[in-house]
Structure 1
Amino acid sequence: MNRPDGLIQRRNAQKETSDRNHNDSDDEKKRSSSEDDIDDADSKETRLTLMEEVLLLGLKDKEGYTSFWNDCISSGLRGCILIELALRGRVELEKAGLRRKSLLNRKVIVRSDQATGDVLLDEALKHLKETDPPETVQSWIEYLSGESWNPLKLHFQLRNVRERLAKNLVEKGVLTTEKQNFLVFDMTTHPLTDNIIKTKLVKKVQESVLSKWMNDPQRMDKRMLSLIYLAHASDVLENAFAPLSDDDYEVAMKRVRDLLDLDLDAESAKPQANDLMWAVFAAFIK
């Protein structure tokens, strides 16, 4: 990332977020990380999915839309969907086999087709279930993004994902809905209703690579690890680090680079690792 731009963004963010309440308690309800709990159901409380967290990091607080120059967040959100399904026990990677297939060559297998209660997740799960033979993680990210050259796969595209996620966040009281005029067209935007939820999210991301840094990805919470990788892949991680001091920013970015430089195949082979989660990471940093 370009350091001068990062400095400018951090200074602007410090000015914009100076009035935020940074003393909010960190007692947000934690979700079970058990991969075997396939009965996990969504609720309407302010518990965010991985997709919603990435979108929230990418949204401009007052304007209520993502950067027009960000062409990474679309595929990043599809990666979030696959990981969310994996963490809920709905999908997994096929076994590596004796010849130890690489992460990107292994197929996605539906483990349970039980509904999650989330419309986007259930739509993606339906596509995964109906596909025979199974496809790889990288192929599914392309199919769900509508970026496949195969016309027979275009019907797998998940449409209006950002808008649908924003509406979910409106229902959860995190965002509101407005209309903005951009000279030649009107656009629906979703500014923050308040800064509490996003401030907690940003603080949580910052702490994961600073005061609560584990120095071992296997000991990190799988959701937080996924959020770091997918926020980076979606080009929105800088937004979380922008308010940091220069010294903390350098430390945070070094630790993110350490994560990106890991041997992902080796990490996925360790006990309790979620293969599909690591495969999604590999698809973005291949």
Structure 2
Amino acid sequence: MLLVEDLLLLLMDDETGTPAGAGTLPYTLGGAVLVELALLGRVDTTGAGGFSGEKVIAVEGEPLADPLLRQAYEKVAEKPRGVQTLLLQIGGNLWNDVVDRLVGQGLVRRESRKVLGLFRTTRLPAADGQREQETRDRIRAVLVDGAEPDTRTAALIALLSASGALPALRPQLAWSTPVIKRAKELEQGNWGASAVNTAVARTAAAIATSSAVVAVTVITTTS
């Protein structure tokens, strides 16, 4: 599974499928795909910033097997763009694609029905919660128990922290100053020596930071 699939599983309500942080969801999902490409060594940042954040550049390599990653990579490869611009360009239409993948893997059910015999609504309840629970357990172990994160868990926490959605996880974490501090450290790319090399962590941190900037901007604008 891709990071963006695990991330959306965590964000979706298990009963209805409604995602936490819906207002900034495209940016969060786009960030997850860019981080995945960073972990694969297929994107890097130039260090040159601007209004739309650090510019992201494509790194050549073997063709990407996953169509979702391949499509995102091709967008990056067109020309260097700011992180924040890419977040929306990549994540703007991801919701339906990722939901379809989760349904196809038997992790989510799609239930359609009519309300009052007139209005059709769709619910997306969890169908198999084992993977989601395992992911939650790893997140809790890192943030609450102080365990050393593996690369993907560190990336997920960074993205959740940047999006502001960590408090929405169910069951809720035991929030404390150390937990909040640890989440922010991971958001900033301090993933530990055993996780990833410095270049990948730097790229992922730049993406997560831009996700946070966008989230704050969107929330402020719509409030």
In structure 1, what is the Cα distance between the partners aligned to 2:151 and 2:95?
A: 23
**Does residue 117 of structure 1 match 2:51?**
no
In structure 2, what is the Cα distance between the partners aligned to 1:187 and 1:115?
A: 39
Tell me which of 158, 179, 182 is aligned to 1:229.
158
Tell me what 1:127 maps to: 75
Tell me what 1:84 maps to: 36
The 8 Å contact of residues 77 and 234 in structure 1, kept in 2 or not, is answered as no
The 8 Å contact of residues 210 and 252 in structure 1, kept in 2 or not, is answered as yes
Tell me which of 217, 226, 238 is aligned to 2:167.
238
Deviation at 1:230, TM superposition (A): 1.1
Identity of aligned residues (%): 25
Tell me which of 170, 176, 179 is aligned to 1:252.
179
The DSSP-based 3-state class of the residue aligned with 1:89 is coil
Supply the AA of the counterpart residue of 2:121. Answer: M
The correspondence of residues 53-68 of structure 1 with structure 2, limited to 5 A, is: 53-67=6-20
The DSSP-based 3-state class of the residue aligned with 1:92 is strand
Change (3 A) 1:180 1:113: farther
Tell me what 2:206 maps to: 279
Change (3 A) 1:254 1:164: same
Gaps of 5+ in 1: 1-47, 146-157, 215-219, 265-269
Gaps of 5+ in 2: 191-195, 214-223
**Does residue 144 of structure 1 match 2:77?**
no
In structure 2, what is the Cα distance between the partners aligned to 1:225 and 1:142?
A: 23
Query: How large is the Cα RMSD of the aligned pairs?
Result: 2.9
Supply the AA of the counterpart residue of 1:167. Answer: D
In structure 1, what is the Cα distance between the partners aligned to 2:165 and 2:36?
A: 18
The DSSP-based 3-state class of the residue aligned with 2:101 is helix
The DSSP-based 3-state class of the residue aligned with 1:188 is strand
Which structure shows the bigger proportion of residues in helix conformation? 2
Tell me which of 97, 122, 125 is aligned to 1:191.
125
The 8 Å contact of residues 158 and 184 in structure 2, kept in 1 or not, is answered as no
In structure 2, what is the Cα distance between the partners aligned to 1:57 and 1:105?
A: 26
TM-score under structure 2 length normalisation: 0.77
Change (3 A) 1:106 1:238: closer
Tell me which of 134, 152, 162 is aligned to 2:95.
162
Tell me what 2:142 maps to: 208
Change (3 A) 1:226 1:65: same
The DSSP-based 3-state class of the residue aligned with 1:187 is strand
Larger Rg: 1
Supply the AA of the counterpart residue of 1:229. Answer: A
Deviation at 1:139, TM superposition (A): 2.3
In structure 2, what is the Cα distance between the partners aligned to 1:273 and 1:202?
A: 27
Deviations 1:115-144 (A, max 9, x none): 32222211111112223xx11222211333
TM-score under structure 1 length normalisation: 0.61
Tell me what 1:107 maps to: 55
